[in-house]
Amino acid sequence: MTKENQFMPDYAIPPGETLAEELAAKSMSQAELAVLIGTSKKIINEIITGKTPITAEMALKLEQVFQLPAHFWVNLEQQYQETLLQMQVNQAVNNTKPFFNEVISSARYLVNTSGSKTDVVLSLAVWNKLLTLLEELDDRTVVQ
């Protein structure tokens, strides 16, 4: 499957928002739901606010109350967690881009211990590997 045309939001919607909508549609309180499924109001509130994930067990309980399949709730949770992770990865990449852009634009050559020249590396994966190797060497040199 291609990700070319997929929407990648810069926000994550907790599955608890859907739970809150379902509660409102049934005119049911968090406390009433908690009693129905045998859990605490605190857990329901934490699910709604995105602090506690919807487990498979919870999804089965929600299925009984809202007639929405357990996999619906599990998929909402998975998509939420995946979006949160993608946002963290994007943030980490965005935080490191300026550093690598500066290093790559200012460096002409990297000199290894044997003294031979290596063209500037533009691949981030290769660059990371080189950085690791260079950190292990005490006599590394960057020539401009």
**Is the confidence at residue 72, as pLDDT, over 50?**
yes
| pLDDT at position 90 | 78
Confirm if 142 and 107 have CB atoms less than 8 A apart.
Answer: yes
For the chain, what are the domain ranges?
Answer: 15-97, 107-143
User: What confidence score (pLDDT) does residue 88 get?
Assistant: 84
Token pair 């290596």 is at which residue?
A: 118
CATH code at 15-97: 1.10.260.40
> Would you give the end-to-end CA distance of the chain in angstroms?
43
The pLDDT score that the predictor gives to residue 39 is 97
The fraction of the chain above a pLDDT of 90, given in percent, is 47
pLDDT value of position 112? 47
What is the helix (H) or strand (E) element at residue 60, kind and residue range? helix 56-66
Angle at 27 between CA 21 and CA 30, to 5 degrees: 70
Q: Give the pLDDT confidence score for residue 93 in this predicted structure.
A: 72
Stronger pLDDT, 2 or 141, i.e. the higher one: 2
Place of tokens 């006599």: 139
For 40, what's the count of Cα atoms within 13 Å in the CB-facing half-sphere? 4
- pLDDT greater than 60 at residue 58: yes
Beta carbons within 10 angstroms of residue 16's beta carbon = 23
User: What pLDDT is stored for residue 27 in this prediction?
Assistant: 97
**What is the CB neighbour count within 10 angstroms for residue 135?**
9
Helix (H) or strand (E) holding 117: strand 117-119
Predicted TM-score of the model (pTM): 0.61
Which three-class secondary structure state does DSSP give residue 84? helix
